[in-house]
Amino acid sequence: MNITFIFFLGFFVALIGVVPPGLLNMTAARISLKEGASRGIMFSTGVCIIVYIQTYMASIFARYLSSHQDIVAILQRVAFVIFILITIYFLLLASKEGEPKKKKERKSKHGRLLHGMLLSGLNVFPIPYQAYMTITLVSFGWMNFEKTSILTYVTGAATGTFVMLYFYIFFFDKIKDRKFTSQKSMNLSIGIITGLVALVTLFNILRDF
């Protein structure tokens, strides 16, 4: 089994999962714009630590999750509630009149690392997504459930996630003077995105009844 090939499988699977604008990549961009790229990168690092753990868990329990759809259903319901709460929070922030006064926030890089880990931990979607993708890749014979194969795949997934988050940081830094990158617009964007994700999750839950 080619380790390099497995690494890039994990890399591209994770990359595809993070390409659409979502809570994590938009938050990374917002932190970078507000506090600097270094703190955005620390946030992204925290996200990737949890992604590594989630992908490893998904790979280990892929067979179990695929044969027990009730667990996936529970994860969907938990995710739905979480994204509804996050949507309300960001829409309330965006509804405030005017831009907040600019003041120096003394947030440590370690604080942003933990912030990234916490927010990534609330996002349970990578677990069923990676479980499904792992089973699919194994069925094609492109990887197996041996420890080396799983660790290589997981490392690729974490790397792919970081690359996409860094792309968002870099992209929004280049267009930071545009009107839609203001804090109010970013909060509104995140709120709309998480609201749409909540609606999609609700649709999937209702479809299973």
Quick check: helix, strand or coil at residue 99? coil
Quote the pTM value.
0.68
How does pLDDT run along the chain (209 residues), one tens digit per residue? 689 999 999 999 888 778 666 778 888 888 888 888 889 999 999 999 999 999 998 888 776 765 666 766 676 677 678 778 777 877 776 666 454 454 444 556 668 899 999 988 887 778 877 887 887 788 788 888 888 999 999 999 999 999 999 988 888 777 555 554 455 666 676 677 767 767 876 776 777 66
Quick check: helix, strand or coil at residue 182? coil
Report the 10 Å Cβ neighbour count for 103.
6
> Tokens 């938009």 appear where?
26
User: Residues 51, 53, 58, 61: what is their CA dihedral angle, to the nearest 10 degrees?
Assistant: -170
- Domain of 99? 3-207
- Count of structural domains within the chain: 1
Phi-psi region for residue 20, left (φ > 0), alpha (ψ -120 to 50) or beta?
Answer: beta
**Rounded alpha-carbon distances, angstroms, from residue 78 to 125, 150, 156, 198, 201:** 10, 27, 27, 11, 10
